[in-house]
Every structure is written in C-alpha cells, then in structure tokens.
Structure 1
Amino acid sequence: MNFLVLCLVALITWLSPRRTGLPRDPAHRWMDEVQRLAQRRSGKPHWWVGLGIAVPLVSLVGLLWLIEGIAHGLLTLLVHVLVLLACVSRRDPLGAMTSSVELAWQRGDQQAAALIAERDWSIRSDSAESLGQAVRATVALEALRGYFVPAFWYVLLGPVAALGYRLSWLAAERRGAAGAAADEACQALEWIPLRLLGVSLALGGRLDQTMKVLRRHLADWDTPSLQLAGHLIEASVRIPLSAEPRLRITRRLLQHSLLVWALTIAFLSLVG
C-alpha cells in the first residue's frame, strides 16, 4: 500500500492545484499552539515541545488502530494520504518557491534578488555567485525536507514516522533550547535520506564529482544538512552557467532524483 499512497500523493501535488499539500497546514498550526503554551508556562520548554510532538503521534497510532480493516482498508488509505499531504513542503521548492528571485535575475537586478533572498529565506550574501549557491542549497534542503525525508520514513516505518519528522522539523524552526534539541533530531532523521539523495543526484548529474563529495561526507555527523545539500548540488550541476539557469538545472536534478526514488520504491514493492 505504501507505493500506492506515494503515487496518490504525487498525483495530487503535481496534477492539481494542491502542490503544497493540504489547503491548511495543520501541523504548523499545532506547533504554533504548542510554542505559545510553552512560552506561557514556566519550566523546561523542551518538555512541552516533546509532548506537543508525542500527542499527535499517539493519536495517529490510535486512529489507525481503530479504523484498521474498515471499508476494506479504504479509510486507512485515506488517512495515510492525508498524513503524507500534511508532510509535503509548503513552499513548492520545485515550482513557485524561487519565482520572485528568478524574475529579478532575469531583469539583471542583483540587488533585488539579494533583498528577496534575505526576506524569504534569511540569506545574506555579498556576491551574485555566493547568492546563487545559497539559493540552490536552500531549494535542495527544502526539497529534501518536504519530499525525500517524509517519503523515506513513510516507506520504512509508516505515516507515524513521517508525521514525527514533520513535527520535529517545525519544532526545529523555532528558536531556543527546545528548537536546538529538535534540530539535532532532524539532522539525525535526515542523515540517511540526504546521502541517498546524493546518490540519486550523482545518477542524474556529474557522477564522479558528486560521489567524491558524498564519500568525503559519508560518515560525517557534524556537517549541517543545508551545507551538505549545497555541496551535493554544486557537484552535480553539469554546466557552469549563470545563477538562473543553474537554479533550473537544480530543480531538474531534484525531479530526476524523485523519479529515481519512485522507481526504486516500486521495485522494492514488487519484490518485497
């Protein structure tokens, strides 16, 4: 059923206006409420954040247990699809996420592109080249967190694991002690999928250069996901073009990587 759920989610996100998942972001709204509660309460905030992550997961486990076998499993299928849609990236990294900065690059307005990048993604850069690298790394990280990691943990452990990662990611975006702990948890959950993404990028881009970067960081725990994603993207891009075409190539490589993952999951579903 896992492959069927992934196919349905892919069709909904790519062939409908729902490219950013559900119309509302229930996970984000939930974590906002958890953060407000943690700020009002004295004591250790990471306890409240941990509880805020645990409650939806336990509730989901209970719901899946209650509906198991109802309507020949169609209700379970629906819940799986809705959970994965809740885990999809809200920024559309392979589509509209970078449209504003690309328009600025097309006009040749580097200052506007830098201001947009700082406003939307907190990217600060002194040169056009470093700005392009930072934007490409951000797109790669958003695709990793919004597509690849949820798919990996869903196939491996089911919808509870995918939702757990999504909630941890949202908690990591909040600052403070609780956010730092959630950030470490996210990096642990991203460790394997990021390196598998590197392999799929190597298959679609420059194989030798990408594998060289991947081997150098294969057992590296300290490199942040954003930095490693940027290294892998820069190594896999075939032609040294200007910032905007490189960004298009980045999206194309990530799309090819999604196809590689889909074919691999389909094969594993057939043989397993």
Structure 2
Amino acid sequence: MSFLVLLLAVWIEKFSALRQKVQRDGWWLTRLARLESSPRTAGHPWGQLALLVLLPAVVLGLLLLVLQPLAYGLLALPVHLLVVIYALGRGDLLGGLGPFRDAWRREDLQAALHVAKRDLDICADSGEQLLERVQGHLLWQAYQSFFAVIFWYFLLGPVAALSYRLLALAAEHGKSPALVERAAQLRHAFDWLPVRLLAASFALVGNFVAVGRVMLHELLNWHISAAQLVEKVGLVAGEIPAPVTGPEGINSLDRIWELLLRAAVLWYAGFALYTVLL
C-alpha cells in the first residue's frame, strides 16, 4: 500500500488542488502560540513538543490501528494519503522561483535581490552569492519538502511522516528559543539518514567521483546540517559551474532540478523493486 500511496500523492500534487486544501496549519500554529504563551508550559520545551508532535502522532497511530483490520486495510488508505499530502512541504517550489528567474535572466540584480528577499527570504551581498544561495535553497527545499517525507513514510509509515512535518513547523514557526532548539535537534536526527541516502542517489545519477570526494569527509559527520550537506553534494553532483548572471545562471537551476528529478525516479524505482520483491 505504501508504494500506491506515494504514486497517488505525486499524481495529486501535480494535477489536483487537494494539497492546498489539506495543508492548513492554522489550527496547529494557534496551538503552538498558546503553548508558548501559557505560564504552565512556557518553561517546558520538551512538554510542549510532546503536546504538539507526540500527541498527534499517537492519535494517528491509534486511528490506523483501528482502521487497518477493516475492509482489508482499504479504510486506512485515505488516511495514509491525506497524511502524506499534509506532510509534504509548503508552497510551490518552482512557482516561487519564477520572479527570481525572470529578474536574473534580465540581468537585473536589484530586482533579483528584491524578489529573493520577498519570495524566498534570501539576502546576499553580491549577485554570485545570491545565486549560490538560491541554488542551495532549491536543493534544501526539494529535500525537506519531498525526499525526507517519502523516506520516512515508506520506512515507518504515516506516523513518522507526520512527526517530521510537525517538527519542521515547530522549528520554523516557534518563537521560544528553547522550543525551536529542541525541535531543530530532533529534526536534525530525522534528517541524518535520508539526506545521506539522497547524497548516494546524487552519486548514482550525477558525478559519482565528485560526490564520493565530498562524502568521504562528511558521511559520518553528525555536526553538518542537512541543508549544508545536500547543497554541497548537489552542486558537485550536477557539475554546477560558478554563478553568472543571465540565462547561464538560470540554466544552473534547471540542471539542479533535473538532478532532483532523476534522484526521485531512482527512489521510486527502488521503492517499486522493494515492493515487488517483498
């Protein structure tokens, strides 16, 4: 069932507006704000995370335990699908890059800086640095929006996928430094394995030797963040040249996207093979 859910999730994301309807975080963000402002929980970040992440995960797990034996598991299928769609990243990654691509293609650095700050929350001191950060943004967002979610769903099911997204929301939207720090620590642990699997995938669909040189030093490095690792590996795997203005700079973003698509196809092929064999 897991592979079927992943196929349906991709189809719905591409051809349906269901994702926008499912990914509504208002209720959860309201709960986050209340817990952070409450005197009873303000000084207990682990307790806050238990209520924000662990409690919904437990409720989901109990619901699936009830539904799984019924109708050969068919009643659990919609729940799996909705959870995976909810756990995917927010927003339209390629659509969000559109204004930046237009400005960069025109070689309008001021406009590129403005739209990067407005749409991507990226600042830079120079055009070269700006394009490098946008490239890193594309790699990181594709990883955390898609690859990490489908990895944990296929490995441990919808409870793990939901937990990953809720931890990400806590780390991104939390106001309490202690809460954000704890959420980021747990998310770092969640990211350690899938980001290295994605790096290995980049080696298979990109420049194997260049990726091997990077991973030789970073494979067991606990302290490097997932964002840093996926950026370092992605740029060398795709053989991305030094940043330049104009259409050539846009071509580098297209090459990164093609690398990500090849890695996604490789993952789905692996999932399919595993499903058939077992």
What is the TM-score normalised by the length of structure 2?
A: 0.91
Amino acid at match of 2:265: L
In structure 1, the residue matched to 2:150 is: 151
In structure 2, the residue matched to 1:33 is: 30
User: What is the Cα-based RMSD across aligned positions, in Å?
Assistant: 1.7
Per mean C-alpha deviation after superposition, the further-off stretch among 114-123 and 184-193 is 114-123
Determine which of 11, 20, 23 is the counterpart of 2:21. Answer: 23
| Equivalent-residue separation in structure 2 for 1:83 and 1:153 (angstroms) | 12
Amino acid at match of 1:238: E
| Equivalent-residue separation in structure 1 for 2:262 and 2:27 (angstroms) | 33
In structure 1, the residue matched to 2:254 is: 248
1:114-263 matches, cutoff 5 A: 114-173=113-172, 174-175=174-175, 176-238=177-239, 240=241, 242-263=248-269
Give, in angstroms, the shift of residue 70 of structure 1: 2.6
Q: For 1:48, what is the secondary structure of its paired residue?
A: helix
| Equivalent-residue separation in structure 2 for 1:250 and 1:17 (angstroms) | 26
In structure 2, the residue matched to 1:58 is: 58
1:67-106 matches, cutoff 5 A: 67-93=67-93, 95-106=94-105
Which stretches in structure 2 are left out of the alignment for 5+ residues? Answer: none
**1:182-214 C-alpha deviation (Å, 9 max, x unpaired):** 011111101111111111112222221122112
**1:80-119 C-alpha deviation (Å, 9 max, x unpaired):** 00100001112232x3131111111122111111122222
| Equivalent-residue separation in structure 2 for 1:243 and 1:192 (angstroms) | 31
| Equivalent-residue separation in structure 1 for 2:121 and 2:15 (angstroms) | 31
**Is the Cα contact below 8 Å between 1:134 and 1:230 reproduced in 2?**
no
**Is the Cα contact below 8 Å between 1:153 and 1:162 reproduced in 2?**
yes
**1:230-261 C-alpha deviation (Å, 9 max, x unpaired):** 11121112352732110111111111111000
Q: For 2:75, what is the secondary structure of its paired residue?
A: helix
| Equivalent-residue separation in structure 2 for 1:223 and 1:203 (angstroms) | 22
| Equivalent-residue separation in structure 2 for 1:237 and 1:45 (angstroms) | 44
Distance 1:45 1:113, change over 3 A: farther
Give, in angstroms, the shift of residue 65 of structure 1: 1.6
| Equivalent-residue separation in structure 1 for 2:35 and 2:17 (angstroms) | 35
Which stretches in structure 1 are left out of the alignment for 5+ residues? Answer: none
| Equivalent-residue separation in structure 2 for 1:31 and 1:16 (angstroms) | 24
**1:144-187 C-alpha deviation (Å, 9 max, x unpaired):** 11111111111111100010001001111124110111011111
Q: For 1:51, what is the secondary structure of its paired residue?
A: helix
Residues paired across the two proteins, number: 268
**Is the Cα contact below 8 Å between 1:90 and 1:146 reproduced in 2?**
yes
**Is the Cα contact below 8 Å between 1:35 and 1:49 reproduced in 2?**
no
**Is the Cα contact below 8 Å between 2:188 and 2:226 reproduced in 1?**
yes
| Equivalent-residue separation in structure 1 for 2:61 and 2:263 (angstroms) | 31
| Equivalent-residue separation in structure 2 for 1:127 and 1:62 (angstroms) | 52
| Equivalent-residue separation in structure 2 for 1:140 and 1:212 (angstroms) | 19
Q: For 1:23, what is the secondary structure of its paired residue?
A: helix
Give, in angstroms, the shift of residue 45 of structure 1: 4.7
**Is the Cα contact below 8 Å between 1:22 and 1:85 reproduced in 2?**
no
Give, in angstroms, the shift of residue 22 of structure 1: 4.2
**Is the Cα contact below 8 Å between 2:23 and 2:85 reproduced in 1?**
no
Amino acid at match of 2:268: A
